Amino acid sequence: MFDKQQRKLKRSAKLISVLSKYGFKDLIARMGKKPEVNSEEIVSKSTIYERIRLVLEELGPTFVKLGQTFSNREDLLPAELIQELQKLQDRVEVVEMNVEEILENEFNISVKEHFSEIITKPLATASIAQVYKATLISGEEVILKIKKPDVLSVIEDDLLLIKDLIKLISTYSEIASKLNLKQAIATFEKSLLEEVSLVNERNNIKQFALNFKNNKETYVPSVYDEFSNNNVLCMEFIDGIKVTDKTELLNNNIDPIKISEVGLRLFVSQILDFGFFHADPHAGNILVKKDGRVVFIDFGAVGKIQPNDKDILESLIVAFVAKNSNKIVRYLKKMAVSYEIPDERRFESDVDEVLDFVHSSSLKDIDPHIIINKMKDVLKDNRIYMPDYFYLLFKGIGLIEGVGRSINPDLDIVKSLRPYTKKILTRKISPKKLFKNGMDKMINFTENVDEIPKELRSVLQKLDDNKFTISSEIKNIEKTNQLIKSSIINLILAMVLGANIIATAIVFVSESGPRIGEMSLVAVLGFLLSVILVAVLLLRIARK
């Protein structure tokens, strides 16, 4: 505990020094500290947004990742700051590591008994881990991703500082207090801690392998569990071609146009088929094997969509293709974490403008970045805060489309979505889906019946016993009683009608029971009963 406090004090001192250097004296004063240096020259030559970027870069990996994460949140931050955050680059230093010693300590093995060679120079280095190439005794080439020492404790300390800063800024800034910064930071913390966990990355790789086990267009690297834990990840080395290396693809008789379409199709499949997608599909994370299969690597950051949200997302895509702004508005609200829409009509009008832009442009000329930015503006202007995966989707689609266009300028993203739109529609009207929806509605119906308030049950009981009275001055009390009785009867008839419709739908999709031609006799009778009940209800309502 004492060691943790010492680390936090040390990082706090670093934070104050950097903030002071770049002219944030007011913020330091709010922290009850004294600025350490005079920074008039830096302040005079740079905008406040440039200075924020410089602060993040100097504070190190956690703060840089924070800025990179928020560089996609136009709904929260001003455009000028977004532009600066998009310039952020990791200042990654190579750390000296004794790979053999680490492996022996982590797995209690003799390295020479399992590895014939380990190249000590890192193949790649990042803020969280370094990657080394090695060869197993069996001759298989692997990579070893090894977490940097003390990286987790540094990140945990930085996260505490970030939370303190956000709390301070939200307290003293009226604009910041209105933003959903607390939730955004919580999402960032969860994502970063997942990325630090190499066990989590190993599980992500296995999930991708399971999802695409029958897909012949992609390949997922194997994981060696015996040499993997939370600090080390051992996986198959992929001798592939960088996806944007058009010359090398052609030299290996691989069609770049086909690769661009396959890569985009695979990413869309990750989203719509599985709700589990690569969150950073830039060119460095996509390789192509010599046999033409596309390989995604670096699974530290992934996006996850819950089944219910995936259904809504599918409906949103169908509504977008159908140019139905009313439904788009409804589905965006359903997906949103929270919203405070000042003007509902303006919101729908903004959505209409985006639809008009998309449908009035040539499909090949549509730039997804423009559409994404327009949608972000709509969300921001109408104070709609979406779940974190929604912004990862925006980022991922922009990245994968950019990769595709670099080798195929005529790449048509809308064309790639069409098969999935048909697939979604087919799935939504399939007997299996209808049956599931019918069962869900029946369960909800039953639960709602069970949850009828005690007061209403009491009213029904008193009506049944002819003991219903109203203790107030009301004229025409008899008519009032009749109206209440009539309303309850209508409610019961409506419940019976709903149950009958669901039961008829279930019988309709089944093949059992007597039939009239190709139709189920029971389903036909159920349909006729529904028609009669509807007619009775309409007559009763019309009479009253």
Of 38-42, 66-70, 320-324, 425-429, the least confident: 38-42
Taking only the tens place, the pLDDT of each residue in 494-509 is 777 777 677 666 666 5
- Measure the CA–CA gap between 29 and 327, rounded to whole angstroms: 49
Contacts of 152 (CB under 8 A, 6+ apart): 196
348 versus 24: the higher-pLDDT residue is: 348
Burial class for 73, CB neighbours closer than 10 Å (0-12, 13-18, 19+): buried
Q: 117-154: buried (b, 16+ CB within 10 Å) or exposed (e) per residue?
A: eeeeebeebbbbbbbbbbeeeeeeebbbbbbbeebbeb
Q: 130 - beta bridge partners?
A: 125, 146
Residue 442 pLDDT > 70: no
Q: Which pLDDT band holds residue 296 (cuts at 50, 70, 90)?
A: very high
Q: Which pLDDT band holds residue 419 (cuts at 50, 70, 90)?
A: confident
Of 13-27, 149-163, 282-296, the least confident: 13-27
What confidence score (pLDDT) does residue 272 get? Answer: 87
Rounding to the nearest 10 degrees, give the CA dihedral for residues 256, 357, 276, 151.
90
What confidence score (pLDDT) does residue 255 get? Answer: 94
Q: Which pLDDT band holds residue 456 (cuts at 50, 70, 90)?
A: low
Taking only the tens place, the pLDDT of each residue in 153-196 is 888 888 888 888 887 777 766 666 666 677 778 888 888 888 88
Taking only the tens place, the pLDDT of each residue in 87-100 is 886 667 788 999 99
Element (H, E) at 319: helix 307-321
What's the rounded mean pLDDT across residues 451-461? 56
What confidence score (pLDDT) does residue 199 get? Answer: 95
Residue 518 pLDDT > 70: no
Taking only the tens place, the pLDDT of each residue in 372-395 is 778 888 888 888 888 888 888 888
Rg value, the chain, Cα? 30
Say which CATH topology domain 92-155+195-237 has. Phosphorylase Kinase; domain 1 (3.30.200)
Question: What's the mean pLDDT when you consider all of the chain?
Answer: 80
Q: Which pLDDT band holds residue 466 (cuts at 50, 70, 90)?
A: low
What's the rounded mean pLDDT across residues 111-140? 93
Residue 30 pLDDT > 80: no
Instruction: Using alpha carbons only, give the angle 278, 260, 216 rounded to the nearest 5 degrees.
Output: 70
- Measure the CA–CA gap between 472 and 116, rounded to whole angstroms: 93
Rounding to the nearest 10 degrees, give the CA dihedral for residues 223, 224, 230, 233.
-70
Of 37-51, 236-250, 279-293, 420-434, the least confident: 420-434
What confidence score (pLDDT) does residue 69 get? Answer: 82
Tokens of 108: 């209690």
Taking only the tens place, the pLDDT of each residue in 198-253 is 999 999 999 999 999 999 999 999 999 999 999 999 999 999 999 999 999 999 99
Taking only the tens place, the pLDDT of each residue in 308-319 is 888 888 888 888
- Measure the CA–CA gap between 206 and 203, rounded to whole angstroms: 5
Residue 453 pLDDT > 60: no
Residue 115 pLDDT > 90: yes
